[in-house]
Amino acid sequence: MIQIDKKWEGLTISRELSNGVYYAGVRHKHFVLRTGMAGDWIAANEIHPNGPFQLAALEVYRRQLLSLGEIPLEHLTVELLREALTEVDLAIIGEADLELEKKLTPLSAATPVGDPSSTPLSGEATA
């Protein structure tokens, strides 16, 4: 079992891929994804400065994956994901990322409370 660094406690989501990534004779399906950090996109663009957006996005997801089955992290490369990750599974990782983002968004920012005010703004009232 792969240990997850304590600094990511409460900032991860676990899901299963449909097809999994084939590595060392096994299809690895269970993954743990951490929340995205500001540096993920910066690093992806530094590593792949002239690459397509999809390559940068794959790099970001690779950085966010704390585990994928029993694949050692040093072997969890963009090249492996590029060759072995199906579009369906890429979408599952993307959905998990969005779900995690919503989970971590403060309730006050995620959901407006009550109906919009029908009272004009003070600037509008005097104009």
Average pLDDT value for residue range 93-120: 74
The answer to whether 63 touches 40, Cβ cutoff 8 Å, is: yes
Given a cut of 80, whether residue 2 has pLDDT beyond it is no
At residue 7, the pLDDT reads 79
Amino acid letter for position 36: G
For the chain, domain boundaries? 11-103
For the beta carbon of residue 12, count every other beta carbon within 10 angstroms: 19
Query: At 55, phi and psi to the nearest 5?
Result: -70, -40
Cα–Cα distance for residue pair 127/125, rounded to 1 Å: 6
53: nearest Cα among 45, 63, 61: 45
Given a cut of 90, whether residue 107 has pLDDT beyond it is no
Residue pLDDT, tens place only, 42-72: 999 999 999 899 999 999 999 999 999 999 9
